[in-house]
């Protein structure tokens, strides 16, 4: 869990309560990998783990403030209770068998001032605890110095002083203390029993059958290399080319954040940052790294800083062939380093995610398709420039994936995206049925995970399709509370502002989306929204530049041509207006002003501004009906 999951937009705040608390943040190690390998098994193990965690938190008078699938945020009145609870959890999981013994937790504890809003916790105290958690080893615990001072006298508890540590977005270094994973006799025996039991069972069966055997067997053939997960990768340490070793921490943080960002992508398995760090300062050959770690792709990069700029260069390599698949570079302003970090990670993460999915889909061409393959292919189509043809091709892929695996979350959301986009763009003749089906798919995902950002984003889109714009805006705000770097939520919040009569606010949101994902497949749609907002405000000349860029970025997207026809007509540039309108009608034949009127709102400011659009479309020659 990162501090990004704890941010909230200012519009949701009243006057939060403040209090001092011992803050406990826990996260399951290896959960994403387990979900990739066996979703149903991982879910059973998650539920068994959560039952243990919830019970022990309650037993120590703790209060769970927030859960996000595989993460837990809780508060305690005393640090001693928080630490005792953490140790009890780690020991119980280490000794457990079956599903409950499958996972280990990373836990961070800090004591500090927190803000409480609707039961949830916010503030720097939460951020520090979350950063401590992410740095802990599986099964271990990390404390800030502030928390350590409350428990340093506890008997039979070993602390390791790690010294001052730089934590992302925390201004001052924090002295950190580690409590290693439990290594008591009971835990060792439990681990030994679990490790030895399968071998003893095999040995007993062989003895019962009267077969002689050697242990270990001699002359055994070399074990074949296990198949690598389809979307598996490692983000290697970034090379700091700034000439200043004190800036190594920034390169490390960017690599860690990029790995975390990529791990959120559906079906992606990312090697833990701690393991990736073992390659720091070593010459690496991507194919060797791929064999050692069992991954298909290797991400390498470098960081260079000047007085005014941070440059992040990145390359994606196929670890099986050694071929470089993609490379690019991204620049951020040096003045606001924290903002530059978030923006750079979001930009690179989005671009890498698109390229990675494209490469994996091509690599699987010709193989028998299972549900994961079908979802990957559908998502690869949706990552292409926004167009009816791509959505039409993706829909049957998601439907086939659901037929094979009805509980596949990514297939549900992929189908919901296709359906709601079809409704919003007039691509379907089954508007009511498709919209209801999309809503049901989104609701089923949110029931299992109420904090799923993409599900909340699609909920906002379904609300927009029903012209419930205030609720849609709240849904997009919720997305950005969960993930402030979700570029699409910024862009479509900008569109909602138009329908709420606040077109002047659109440019800011669209700019935020483009800053986070400047090469996004949806860039043409975002630029078109910016141009539309300017038309609503009567800034016809200013609208032309973003609309022309939108048409150039995605020639298959029709609305930029319609808006250009409106702008040219209102400026008296009749020939250009007719040319733009002709291109629009080529892409969307039979369109009329009456159909455009259906995309409406009851807001009086919107209705007054929309008259400018109707006027421009009439002048350009678009038929009324």
Mean pLDDT of 418-440: 93
**Among 224, 303, 296, 310, CA closest to 256:** 303
- Does residue 190 belong to any structural domain of this protein? no
Q: Is the predicted pLDDT of residue 373 greater than 90, yes or no?
A: no
* Boundary residue ending a domain (183, 215, 243): 183
Expressed as residue numbers, the domain containing 429 is 366-473
Structural contact between residues 357 and 379, judged by C-beta atoms closer than 8 angstroms: yes
Q: Is the predicted pLDDT of residue 14 greater than 60, yes or no?
A: no
Peptide linkage before 15 cis (omega within 30 of 0):
no
- Does residue 209 belong to any structural domain of this protein? no
Residues 292, 254, single domain; the answer is yes
Strands 104-117 and 324-333, how do they pair? Answer: unpaired
Q: Which two tokens stand for residue 199?
A: 């071998």
Residues 155, 20, single domain; the answer is yes
Burial 186-218 (b: 16+ CB within 10 A, else e): ebeebeeeeeeeeeeeeeeeeeeeeeeeeeeee
* Boundary residue ending a domain (322, 347, 363): 363
Q: Is the predicted pLDDT of residue 569 greater than 90, yes or no?
A: yes
Residues 18, 152, single domain; the answer is yes
**Among 113, 136, 139, CA closest to 126:** 113
pTM of structure: 0.54
Residues 39, 172, single domain; the answer is yes
Residues 459, 528, single domain; the answer is no
Burial 534-572 (b: 16+ CB within 10 A, else e): bbbbebbebbbebbbbbbebbeebbbbbbbbbbbbbbbe
Q: Is the predicted pLDDT of residue 8 greater than 80, yes or no?
A: no
The number of domains in the chain is 4
Residues 446, 490, single domain; the answer is no
Q: pLDDT tens, 531-559?
A: 999 999 999 999 999 999 999 988 888 99
pLDDT score for 189: 39
Domain of 35, CATH number, reads: 3.30.70.1230
**Among 57, 67, 85, 71, CA closest to 28:** 71
**Among 135, 61, 56, CA closest to 90:** 56
Residues 31, 145, single domain; the answer is yes
Q: How many H-runs (helices) and E-runs (strands) does the chain carry?
A: 24, 14
Residue given tokens 């302003």 in the structure block = 333
User: Phi and psi (nearest 5°) for 336?
Assistant: -115, 85
Q: pLDDT tens, 152-185?
A: 777 667 788 777 777 777 777 788 888 877 654 3
pLDDT score for 289: 84
- Does residue 538 belong to any structural domain of this protein? yes
Structural contact between residues 301 and 315, judged by C-beta atoms closer than 8 angstroms: yes
pLDDT score for 339: 56
Residue by residue, DSSP assigns 460-505 as HHHHHHTT-HHHHHHHHHHHHHH-TT-HHHHHHHHHHHHHTT-GGG
- Does residue 176 belong to any structural domain of this protein? yes
Nearby residues of 480 by Cβ (< 8 Å), 6 or more positions away: 7, 9, 486, 489, 490, 493
- Residue 1's alpha-carbon distances to 128, 200, 548, 595, in angstroms, are 11, 40, 41, 45
Nearby residues of 145 by Cβ (< 8 Å), 6 or more positions away: 174, 175, 176, 177
Q: How far is the C-alpha of 301 from the C-alpha of 129, rounded, in Å?
A: 29
Q: Is the predicted pLDDT of residue 303 greater than 70, yes or no?
A: yes
User: Phi and psi (nearest 5°) for 521?
Assistant: -60, -20
Residues 287, 155, single domain; the answer is no
- Does residue 203 belong to any structural domain of this protein? no
Domain of 566, CATH number, reads: 1.25.40.10
């Amino acid at each position: 869990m990162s501090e990004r999951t704890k941010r909230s937009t200012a519009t949701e705040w009243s006057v939060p309560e403040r209090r001092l608390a011992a803050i406990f943040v826990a996260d399951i190690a290896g959960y994403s990998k387990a979900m990739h390998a066996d979703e149903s098994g991982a879910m059973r193990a998650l539920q068994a783990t959560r039952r243990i965690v919830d019970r022990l938190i309650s037993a120590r008078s703790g209060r769970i403030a927030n859960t996000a699938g595989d993460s837990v945020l809780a508060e305690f009145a005393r640090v001693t209770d928080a630490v005792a609870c953490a140790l009890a959890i780690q020991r119980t999981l280490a000794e457990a068998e079956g599903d409950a013994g499958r996972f280990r937790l990373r836990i961070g504890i800090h004591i500090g001032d927190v803000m409480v809003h609707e039961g949830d916790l916010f503030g720097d105290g939460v951020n520090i605890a979350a950063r401590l958690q992410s740095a802990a080893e599986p099964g271990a615990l990390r404390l800030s110095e502030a928390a350590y001072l409350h428990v340093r006298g506890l008997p039979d508890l070993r602390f390791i002083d790690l010294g001052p540590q730089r934590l992302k977005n925390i201004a001052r270094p924090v002295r950190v203390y580690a409590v290693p994973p439990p290594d008591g006799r009971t835990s060792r025996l439990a681990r030994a029993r679990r490790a030895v039991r399968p071998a003893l069972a095999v040995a007993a069966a062989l003895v019962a059958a009267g077969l002689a055997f050697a242990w270990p067997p001699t002359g055994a053939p070399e074990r074949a290399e296990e198949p690598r997960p389809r979307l598996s990768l490692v983000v290697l340490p970034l090379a700091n080319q700034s000439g200043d070793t004190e800036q190594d921490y920034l390169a490390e943080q960017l690599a860690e954040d990029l790995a975390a960002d990529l791990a959120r992508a559906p079906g992606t398995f990312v090697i833990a940052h701690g393991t990736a760090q073992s390659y720091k300062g070593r010459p690496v050959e991507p194919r060797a790294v791929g064999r050692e770690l069992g991954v298909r792709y290797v991400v390498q990069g470098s960081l260079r800083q000047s007085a005014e700029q941070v440059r992040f260069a990145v390359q994606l390599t196929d670890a099986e062939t050694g071929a470089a698949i993609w490379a690019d570079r991204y620049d951020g302003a040096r003045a606001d380093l924290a903002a530059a970090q978030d923006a750079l990670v979001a930009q690179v993460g989005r671009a890498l995610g698109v390229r990675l999915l494209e490469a994996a889909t091509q690599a699987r061409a010709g193989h028998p398709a299972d549900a994961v393959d079908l979802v990957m292919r559908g998502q690869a189509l949706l990552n292409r420039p926004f167009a009816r043809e791509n959505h039409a091709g993706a829909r049957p892929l998601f439907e086939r994936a659901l037929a094979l695996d009805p509980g596949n979350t990514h297939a549900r959301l992929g189908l919901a995206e296709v359906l709601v986009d079809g409704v919003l763009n007039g691509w379907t003749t089954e508007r009511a049925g498709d919209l209801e089906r999309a809503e049901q798919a989104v609701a089923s995902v949110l029931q299992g995970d109420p904090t799923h950002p993409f599900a909340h984003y699609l909920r906002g889109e379904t609300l927009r399709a029903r012209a419930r714009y205030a609720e849609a805006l709240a849904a997009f705000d919720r997305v950005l509370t969960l993930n402030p770097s979700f570029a699409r939520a910024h862009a479509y919040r900008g569109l909602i502002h138009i329908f709420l009569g606040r077109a002047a606010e659109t440019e800011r949101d669209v700019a935020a989306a483009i800053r986070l994902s400047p090469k996004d497949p949806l860039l043409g749609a975002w630029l078109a929204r910016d141009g539309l907002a300017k038309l609503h405000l009567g800034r016809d000349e200013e609208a032309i530049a973003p609309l022309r860029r939108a048409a150039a970025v995605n020639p298959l997207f029709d609305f930029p041509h319609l808006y250009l026809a409106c702008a040219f007509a209102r400026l008296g540039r009749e020939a250009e207006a007719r040319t733009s309108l002709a291109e629009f009608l080529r892409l969307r034949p039979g369109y009329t002003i009456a159909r455009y009127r259906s995309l409406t709102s009851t807001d009086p400011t919107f209705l007054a501004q929309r008259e400018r659009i109707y006027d421009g479309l009439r002048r350009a020659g678009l038929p009324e009906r």
